[in-house]
Amino acid sequence: MPDPRVLIAVTVDYELFGNGRGDLVEHILEPTDRLLAFAARWNLPLTFFIETAELLAFDRAVRSNTVGPGVGKAYRDIQAQIARMVREGHDVQLHFHPQWVDARWTPEGWLLGSQSGDLLQFGSERLARELQAGKAFLENICQSEDSDYVCRIFRAGGYHFTRDARIGQLLAALGITADSSIVKGYHRDTVYAQVDHRDLTEIQPPYWLTIDGGQGRAADGILELPVHARVQRNLSKLNPTRIMSKFRRGSTRPQDAVYQAGAEQSLSGLVSWLLQHQANIWDFCLLGAGELIAHYQKAQTQYAEFDLIPLVMIGHTKELFDLHPLKKFYTFIEKQSETSWATMRALETAVRQHARI
């Protein structure tokens, strides 16, 4: 029996921090320049999920002259960088954090419109308008480089695809044919996110059709291509790569990150959280090379019965400091004869052709 064919999509969430902090140059433009140079050198196709609610907030601020000329220049450079992604053969798709809806610029920085990641907090009609605006924003930029470009893949901020069929129906109505918001085994109960995908580990295939983001299958649904993860104790997340990333982001204590992830702010709460099992996401910014390889090998075992295994890896511009783990992983994968790289568009096409859906 031949080995299964594995396709890996390396995806990048193109964004500032979820609380409104960050600098367009330091946390988006410069890390993306380094990543594009890396991709060009190694012939690695990437998919950038562009956080459009955030960029449209900058667009409003620039147009109303409420930000300085430096921010205006950085915003124009971002539009040029998105066009460059397409020109260099990469994929661009839709990412959305609802807290940026109605965000306002103040002398102290961004005042966000919400602290919640719930997609439906403003209602279905408002969500549809915001997503359509983001889709049009990307298509306007990308079609200048590729006249056939259509934005058709979605990712919710914070993996916050709540189990509500209204979201899937809305996405389908907007022409979205695939989603990559789900992480099997992921759960969080914080002010920002109330998500529980632990039961999705019961879904055996590496992809499925859904209308509600959950186990409910729908023949006419959107294609769910989840971000790959391994369910492990949270203790496993305290690796040198992740801790260094959090320090560079401005955290002064390692426990800051786990408090944000839902641990109670006490010693007993911290210990309890570290011993709990959680989805350890396949993130090239937060895992070392050995961990990236272990995730890949675990997926091969988990999905060994399938002829085609699509795997989605994630990273974030705001957390991109060291490309050595990704380089080592790339070198490892290049030696695997049945594994190749793909954009999300190519991944979706391959899955649909293979499964005849």
CA–CA gap between residue 3 and residue 8 (Å, rounded): 15
- Pairing between β-strand 5-14 and β-strand 339-341 as defined by DSSP bridges: parallel
d(CA 245, CA 248): 5
DSSP-based three-state secondary structure for 298: helix
**Contact predicate 96/138, CB 8 Å:** no
- According to the model, what pLDDT value does residue 218 have? 73
On whether residue 265 sits in a domain, the answer given is no
CA–CA distances in Å: residue 143 to residues 47, 75, 151, 324? 16, 19, 10, 33
On whether the CB atoms of residues 96 and 157 are closer than 8 A, the answer is yes
Containing structural domain, residue 186: 5-232+282-355
Specify the pLDDT at position 249: 58
Residue 325 domain flag: yes
What is the pLDDT at residue 233?
74
Whether residue 250 is contained in a domain is answered as no
pLDDT of residue 23 exceeding 70: yes
User: What 3-state class would DSSP assign to 108?
Assistant: coil
pLDDT score, position 251: 43
In angstroms, the first-to-last Cα distance of the chain is: 24
pLDDT of residue 252: 41
| pLDDT exceeds 70 at position 260 | no
279 vs 253, more confident: 279
Per-residue pLDDT at 214:
79
State CA 339 to chain mean position distance.
22
Which CATH number covers residue 336? 3.20.20.370
Residue 77 lies in a domain: yes
Give the span between the Cα atoms of 186 and 278, in whole angstroms. Answer: 6
The sign of the dihedral angle between the CA atoms of 238, 317, 345, 221 is positive
DSSP-derived 3-state class of residue 178: strand
Query: Could you count the other beta carbons within 10 Å of the beta carbon of residue 146?
Result: 13
Q: Which of 37-41, 60-64, 211-215, 310-314 has the lowest mean pLDDT?
A: 211-215
Residue 279 has pLDDT above 90, yes or no: no
Structure tokens at 304: 């060994």
**DSSP state, residue 174:** T
| Confidence check: pLDDT of 336 > 80 | yes
Domains held by the chain: number? 1
pLDDT averaged over every residue in the chain? 90
**Cα–Cα distance, 231 to 119 (Å, whole number):** 25
Q: Is the pLDDT of residue 215 over 50?
A: yes
Is 258 a residue whose pLDDT tops 60?
no
- Residue 131 Cα distances to 113, 122, 167, 170, 197, angstroms: 16, 12, 11, 9, 23
pLDDT at 261 exceeding the cut of 80: no
Question: Exposed, middle or buried by CB within 10 Å (0-12, 13-18, 19+), for 331?
Answer: exposed
Confidence band of 326 (pLDDT split at 50, 70, 90)? very high
Q: Between the CA of residue 105 and those of 15, 16, 113, what are the distances in Å?
A: 16, 14, 11
| Statement: residue 235 has pLDDT above 80 | no
Q: What is the dihedral of CA 303, 320, 115, 187, to 10 degrees?
A: 20
Per-residue model confidence (pLDDT) at position 248: 61
- Judge whether 249 lies within some domain: no
In the prediction, which pLDDT does 357 show? 84
Phi/psi-derived region of residue 301, left when phi > 0, alpha when psi is between -120 and 50, beta in every other case? alpha
pLDDT of 78 higher than 50 = yes
Residue 251 lies in a domain: no
Taking residue 147's Cβ as centre, other Cβ atoms within 10 Å add up to: 7
Residue 322 confidence (pLDDT) above 80: yes
Q: Provide the residue count of the chain.
A: 357
What share of the chain in percent tops pLDDT 90? 72
Residues 6 or more apart whose CB falls under 8 angstroms from that of 112 comprise 19, 20, 99, 100, 103
In which element (H, E) is residue 84 found? helix 69-87
Q: Tell whether the model's pLDDT for residue 256 goes beyond 70.
A: no
60 is a domain residue: yes
Q: Does the CA dihedral 271-277-281-283 come out positive or negative?
A: positive
Q: What is the pLDDT of residues 161-197, one digit of tens each?
A: 888 899 999 999 999 999 999 999 998 888 888 889 9
8 A C-beta contact, residue 59 and residue 141: no
The residue type found at 212 is: D
Judge whether residue 126 has pLDDT over 80: yes
Q: What percent of the chain has pLDDT over 70?
A: 88
Asked whether 46 and 32 are in contact (CB, 8 A), the reply is: no
Confidence at residue 190, expressed as pLDDT on a 0 to 100 scale: 83
